[in-house]
Structure 1
Amino acid sequence: MSADLLTRTRARGATALRGHRRRPTPFMVFGGLFWLVMSLAYWRVPMCCDFGQHAAVVERLTADLLSPRHPMADLPGDGSPYYTPYAVTQALFAKLTGLAGWEVVKLSGPVNLLVLLTGVARFTRAVSRPTTGPWAPVFALAAMLLLWGTLGTWWSGFLGLMSMTGNLGYPSTFAIGLTFWAWAWTASLIRDSAPRWRGHAGLGALLGLILLVHPITVIAAAVGVAAFVVPAHGRQWLSRAAWRRYGVGLPWLLAALAACAVAAMWPYFSVFSLAGDSSVDAIHARLYRNTRERFWLGALGLPALWARWRRDGGRDPLVLMFGLDLLVIAYGWFTGHYTYGRVMGMALVPLHFALAVELATPRPWSRRRRALGVAAVAAALTGFLTVHAGAVVPRSLDPVGFKQPPRWPTYAWVTQHVGRGEVILADGYRPARSLPGYGLNLVAPPWPDPALEERERSRRWSAVHTYLAPNSSPTRRAEIVKRYGVRWLLLSPRQTAPPEAVVVAWDPRSGEVLARVRGA
């Protein structure tokens, strides 16, 4: 054996030995444990809230991948923004495995959580200082889970510990995980002195994917990208000489064009048509209520943001990100486009990560940092005990009586009698949001959708209330049954079955009654 070959062999052996001895990072340990616990906690919560809607989307795509029907009614689904690349991937998986829509949404939770956790680790490194310790991602995850407020926020895109038990399998969670990756990718592109054209095009494609998967999240994603790019290149963009010599803005223009191209090529709906859509603004008006109670613990990150402001002269990405997010939220408030309030969940990210990086700086600790650490632990315990404990502590092991995640009744018993695609008339809050998840069609969808004109949706709800009214005439009920193809009724315990309905089954837990419309 030659001396050169022997040297290379020894070098490879030494490298392998160092890799074998390398210890896992704190985030690998605690992040892995959290992934396991959170996946189990998410799995134990039954279908509720928006879950049925996302399961219904998978059901419709599984039935017809190229031309799916409306997610919740027996109507065309052309232009529905729920048919995203994320949902199409879920439907392909359902076709391959034969799983139901609700099962695929459940299995998506651990996958989304993995994307989110890896994104948190990458983004933490992107905003850390050279002296930041290895515990920064762990602290960032803990802050993101617990430092919200003392009033729970059960809403898609708000990734507190409690709300994760319900929305872990939703597209918003996947989009937020991709957003963390996009921010970390942006930071890596900025660190390179020379433009990386493929890298910028790839970043733009990722932003286009986020836009398609969850359009409101891309606003926060774009704000974060701008918070990294503007401090790094803002002055160069104002210099004509820099443009002539380096073309500093061209790579980022390429990224923007790639994002628009990816979004424009999606065949199921036009995401750009959603820009002026206000059909869901009224639903999101609630986000602007009780904001102090729901977010005040996150304010503990303000001292850390202030320290970054003083150190970097206002050019720190987290500081700019926080300020721009507040402008977006204010825009939603003053214009009445309350859907922009969904950015509130992402507006806490700069506070959480600034606090985590500050506390992960190695010792010696100053008196101010020590006080901040004590306050952070106290705030995390407050948030956990008042809002989030029930997410991971089962009721059977709960000695205190923590608030638990919603536990809606299952409607699997309905599917023993009603086939996929059949139309069922129901006006209850829970059944209207759950039944489509089993592949059934409603007369009136509970949520707005661009695929269904809002006036038509209102007419359908009026027909539902008319049919169930005690004083409705048999002729009017027959017209409604014929017009909408109604075959089944799901009645609450307070509602009386009309003469033409035959009771088929009932649920002893909820008291709800399933009836078949005679002659339908």
Structure 2
Amino acid sequence: MRVASKAASKAASEAASKVASEGGIRAPRALVPHAFALLLVALLLLVIVRLPWAGDLGIHAATIERLRDDPLHPGNPLVDADTPSPYYSPWTLLLGCLAKATGLGTFVVLRVAAVAGLGLLVTGVGHFVRTFSTRRGAAPVALLCLLLLWGPGLFDWSGFLGLNSLALTVSYPSTFALGSAFHLWALLRKALRSAAGWRVFLGLGVLWAVTLLSHQFTGVVASFGALAMVLGARPRPTRAVLLRVAGGLALGLAVLPAWPYYSFFGLLGAGGLEEIHRSLYRSLLPHFGLALLGVAALAVRWRRDHRDPLVIFFALGAAMFAAGGLTGHYSWGRVLPAALIPAQVAAALEVFEAGPLRRAFAALLGAALVLGGWTQAGTVGYVVPRGALPGPVAAKYRPPWTGYHWLMSSRVRYGDVVMAKTFPSRQIPAYGPYTVAPGYPDFFLPDEGERGEAVREYFAPGTTRAERLAVLRRYGVRWVVAYPGDGGLRGDDPALREAGVGPRGQVLYEVVG
């Protein structure tokens, strides 16, 4: 009995030692990934306070402005036209109603959206990772990989989870959609394992549709992930469970065309996005090279299980990304997160797998995360004044745009039409005015080409004064925003009156004639 007791005690001790060493639950080691993950989340929360202006912030602010003004018939968010817009999603409708009900300013509501989206994303990552591993450090390591395991070259785009990219897009619908997608995948895996009932799968179908409606590109990523979770489910779903999956899919497909603010399926034939997305296929190794560690981890997972959901997820995303490059459909490159996310998560999970190379892989991953963090160190500049940053970090900082709040102190009112070039047109509608031409492609605006040509005609050097005045009258322009060298009517033209001066000599003119 004593011998058996000693043997049992020794076995228990060895088991505990093994769990501690392989599971990473030793207190000092377990705290390291948690501490760094919390540090990055805290950094992002501080960034939200600043809400740096770059990229597509203007269109999302304009969308909330229009929904605040008229939630039922908001019209085009950028120009004075009664057209639908894919930016009017379930998420932005909720934000617009929040703005109308509370009276909060648009940029305050965007900060609320950012906090909610970030919370949904962080909890979604943890939720999803826990369906693969219960190790204490798996979720925070996965979050670190998603934020830092990119490349030695900086890359920013909505729907891509790099730290600097997320700092600029955290208030966008893409962040909400990504958070929803992680929860969708986690809930779907759990529902498949437990053979959940109809109510669960129907709810998942609605969540899938909301994700697609809120950010279409991320919705495709979410769809590939959901398909991978079904194809890789263990045990294999029974016929009854697959019937419930089909029912959830059917309900989601019914929700999509029922959304009243724009035609989801009408977007399938939209063009004009290929050239914008060509850059997704350039500099792949500088932008995404560190994620190859995750591809190696996926190869190991594939050897263990040919139906591993992360492997299938990666294969679907990589295949569509490659097809887009080969066929010239560069907008398909927006599906790249469907390859990056499973690779990054696989890299995190591999650290906690038993094997002779585990420690070597963990060390290599740690070095890659440090390099990825250094690449994106300029993100700190959105929180710390540039002058207080060390020289090498300050060199990586990219100052955000200044915005056009100064227009509103010059008697420009909500709904006024402003003549401006493309770059100002991406920001001015955020404050309530319209522009002649949209600063972004607009699939549902029938005269988009004519409006763009009108702006080019107004500012072109060979255009006569009469032609410029005709353009202003055609679109009911009340204000013109221009730098001194932009062209257009001269500043001393009797049809204009100077009304304000903005950063770098930009001038606001009131149209008086």
TM-score class normalised by the smaller sequence: 0.7 to 0.9
Q: Is it true that 1:255 corresponds to 2:255 in the alignment?
A: no
Letter in 2 for 1:175: A
Q: In structure 2, do the counterparts of structure 1 residues 403 and 493 end up closer, same or farther at CA, with 3 Å as the change threshold?
A: farther
1:99-135 deviation digits (Å, cap 9, x = unpaired): 232332232111100000000000101122xxx5200
Is this contact kept in 1: 2:59–2:430, CA < 8 A? Answer: yes
Alpha-carbon separation, structure 2, partners of 1:392 and 1:186: 36
Q: Is it true that 1:369 corresponds to 2:358 in the alignment?
A: yes
Alpha-carbon separation, structure 2, partners of 1:296 and 1:450: 34
Shift of 1:340: 1.6
Per the alignment, residue 139 of structure 1 pairs with: 141
Q: Is it true that 1:501 corresponds to 2:507 in the alignment?
A: no
Per the alignment, residue 266 of structure 1 pairs with: 259
The match for 1:298 among 291, 295, 302 is: 291
Per the alignment, residue 379 of structure 2 pairs with: 391
Letter in 1 for 2:323: Y
Alpha-carbon separation, structure 2, partners of 1:71 and 1:223: 30
The match for 2:404 among 400, 411, 421 is: 411
Per the alignment, residue 126 of structure 2 pairs with: 121
1:14-70 deviation digits (Å, cap 9, x = unpaired): xxxxxxxxx9x9687765554332111233243222100100011111111111121
Q: Is it true that 1:206 corresponds to 2:207 in the alignment?
A: yes
The match for 1:72 among 54, 72, 78 is: 78
Is this contact kept in 2: 1:444–1:457, CA < 8 A? Answer: yes
Aligned pairs for 1:88-103 (under 5 A) are 88-103=93-108
1:282-332 deviation digits (Å, cap 9, x = unpaired): 2112211111211000111123212211111x1110111101111111222
Per the alignment, residue 474 of structure 1 pairs with: 465
Shift of 1:229: 1.1
Q: In structure 2, do the counterparts of structure 1 residues 402 and 135 end up closer, same or farther at CA, with 3 Å as the change threshold?
A: farther
Is this contact kept in 1: 2:37–2:144, CA < 8 A? Answer: no
Letter in 2 for 1:84: S
Letter in 2 for 1:221: A
SS in 2 for 1:270: coil
Letter in 2 for 1:90: L
Aligned pairs for 1:70-469 (under 5 A) are 70-77=76-83, 79-128=84-133, 132-192=134-194, 194-232=195-233, 246-312=239-305, 314-361=306-353, 366-386=355-375, 388-393=376-381, 394=384, 395-399=386-390, 400=392, 401-417=394-410, 418-429=412-423, 431-453=424-446, 456-469=447-460
1:354-394 deviation digits (Å, cap 9, x = unpaired): 11111134xxx6541111111111111111212x1111243
Report runs of 4+ in structure 1 exceeding 6 Å deviation: 233-236
Shift of 1:276: 2.2
Alpha-carbon separation, structure 2, partners of 1:495 and 1:284: 27
Aligned residues: 474
SS in 2 for 1:199: helix
Alpha-carbon separation, structure 2, partners of 1:326 and 1:66: 40
Q: In structure 2, do the counterparts of structure 1 residues 366 and 248 end up closer, same or farther at CA, with 3 Å as the change threshold?
A: closer
1:198-240 deviation digits (Å, cap 9, x = unpaired): 111111111011111111212111111111212338977xxxx
Alpha-carbon separation, structure 1, partners of 2:326 and 2:87: 28
The match for 1:47 among 35, 53, 56 is: 53
1:148-189 deviation digits (Å, cap 9, x = unpaired): 011222111011001111100000110010000010011101
SS in 1 for 2:304: helix
Percent of aligned pairs with the same amino acid: 38
SS in 2 for 1:303: helix
Letter in 2 for 1:495: D
Which structure is higher in RCO with an 8 Å CA cutoff and minimum separation 6?
1
Is this contact kept in 2: 1:428–1:492, CA < 8 A? Answer: no
Letter in 1 for 2:364: A
TM-score, normalised to structure 2, is 0.88
Shift of 1:451: 2.2
Shift of 1:428: 4.9
Q: In structure 2, do the counterparts of structure 1 residues 101 and 451 end up closer, same or farther at CA, with 3 Å as the change threshold?
A: farther
Is this contact kept in 2: 1:45–1:406, CA < 8 A? Answer: no
Report the more deviating stretch, 99-108 or 145-154: 99-108
Is this contact kept in 2: 1:463–1:480, CA < 8 A? Answer: yes
Alpha-carbon separation, structure 1, partners of 2:142 and 2:456: 48
Letter in 1 for 2:272: S
Alpha-carbon separation, structure 2, partners of 1:366 and 1:124: 20
Give the gaps of 5 or more residues in structure 1: 1-22, 237-241
Per the alignment, residue 24 of structure 2 pairs with: none
Is this contact kept in 1: 2:233–2:309, CA < 8 A? Answer: no
Q: Please report the RMSD computed on the Cα atoms of aligned residues, expressed in angstroms.
A: 2.1
SS in 2 for 1:510: helix
Alpha-carbon separation, structure 2, partners of 1:415 and 1:169: 23
Q: In structure 2, do the counterparts of structure 1 residues 402 and 347 end up closer, same or farther at CA, with 3 Å as the change threshold?
A: farther
Alpha-carbon separation, structure 2, partners of 1:191 and 1:492: 61
Give the gaps of 5 or more residues in structure 2: 1-26
